[in-house]
């Protein structure tokens, strides 16, 4: 399996000015990450799982055992320093344990109030490869 970085670039360009909104098909952290994994690999990392509000997201994440556990069961955890462009990064989040972003290179990218926001890569406390080991 290879990653389609051109498809990732198109997805990020399309979401550049899309504000944060709850929902798998909207622009929250999990929705963006799932869209990015699908764009790069053609696979759905969380088939059959959906939400449309913060409350529903909390219920779904709770059923999955938390975001970290859900990703650990579906992707390969790696050291943040080893994450490649298009991999998933977790940053500290008081509500959900981690908030998800994508590794862009020297930065992480994820949804923000007015569109995509970027943080330094050093903000990552966890990471997962989207490719099998």
User: Per residue, what are the HEC states of 101-131?
Assistant: EEECCCEEEEEECCEEEEEEHHHEEEEEECC
Provide the 8-state DSSP code for 84: P
Residue 103 scores a pLDDT above 80: yes
Provide the β-strand partners of residue 91: 99, 124
Q: Indicate the pLDDT class of residue 91, thresholds 50, 70 and 90.
A: very high
Does residue 8 carry a pLDDT above 90?
yes
Three-state SS annotation for 33-78: HHHHHHHHHCCCCCCCCCCCCHHHHHHHHHHCCCHHHHHHHHCEEE
For position 17, which CATH number holds?
A: 3.90.1720.10
| For residue 58, pLDDT beyond 80 | yes
Domain coverage including residue 79: 5-129
Q: What is the pLDDT of residue 133?
A: 75
Number of structural domains (the chain) is 1
Give the pLDDT confidence score for residue 117 in this predicted structure. Answer: 97
Q: 1 or 128, which is more confident?
A: 128
* 132 has pLDDT over 90: no
């Amino acid at each position: 399996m290879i990653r389609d970085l051109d498809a990732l670039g198109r997805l990020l360009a399309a979401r550049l000015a899309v504000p944060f909104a709850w929902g798998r098909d909207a622009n929250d952290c999990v929705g963006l990450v799932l869209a990015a994994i699908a764009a790069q690999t053609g696979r759905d990392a969380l088939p059959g799982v959906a939400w449309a509000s913060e409350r529903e997201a909390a219920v779904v994440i709770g059923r999955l055992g938390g975001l970290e556990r859900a990703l650990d069961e579906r992707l390969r955890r790696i050291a943040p320093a080893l994450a490649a462009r298009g991999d998933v990064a977790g940053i500290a989040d008081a509500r959900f344990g981690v908030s998800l972003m994508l590794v862009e290179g020297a930065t992480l990218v994820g949804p923000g109030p007015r569109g995509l926001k970027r943080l330094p890569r050093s903000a990552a406390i966890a990471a997962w490869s989207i490719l099998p080991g």
